[in-house]
Structure 1
Amino acid sequence: MSETTTPGNPNGIQVGDIYEDCSFHPVLCTAVDEVAGTVLSGVSLIDGSSPRSCDALYCGPVRIPVEEVMAIKQDLEGYARRRMEELRGGGGT
């Protein structure tokens, strides 16, 4: 996939990418609405809930390699704890 970034979508997430949303769910991106402030919409790969939406600029979604999705799905709570610690600056392993 091409790496296209805009000021409103700094990580260049596009339809077909898997990203981590605000609830630490891996989400398959199904739409990018750049008119509405680069809102990303998709389907959770944890529980199938949709639409799951994040603002690419303010929520800070990041791409997730497809290889990590199954590990995240097996322990979403543990993954979320680790990510929150990382985001607080605790590093983690």
Structure 2
Amino acid sequence: MGSKYTKRYTEEFKRDAIALVDSSGKTVTAVARELGISSESLRGWYRRAKADRGEGAPGELTQRRTRRTAPAAQGEPRAAADDRDPEKSDLTTL
């Protein structure tokens, strides 16, 4: 099983790790192994950095959009279908 807490990395560490992937020609997994971090963590940082630079896959969220939309996605309930489509909201008036 894993650790009981999530390790936090500084933004500087993340930038340096991403730069190492870009400059070394090694895979994300190889760089993560050398740094002693999770390859999934580094892969996520790398994808987010690419999206922030405009190099990400179509539809991928940038860091700015992720931060702005995350609280709303976690805290606000979804609207019911009848709230979104006025034609479906009240079938009894027909």
Range into which the TM-score falls when normalised by the shorter chain = under 0.3
**Structure having the higher Rg:** 2
Structure with more contact order per residue of length (Cα contacts < 8 Å, sep ≥ 6): 1
TM-score calculated relative to the size of structure 1: 0.28
Could you state the TM-score of these two structures normalised by the residue count of structure 2? Answer: 0.28
Higher share in strand: 1
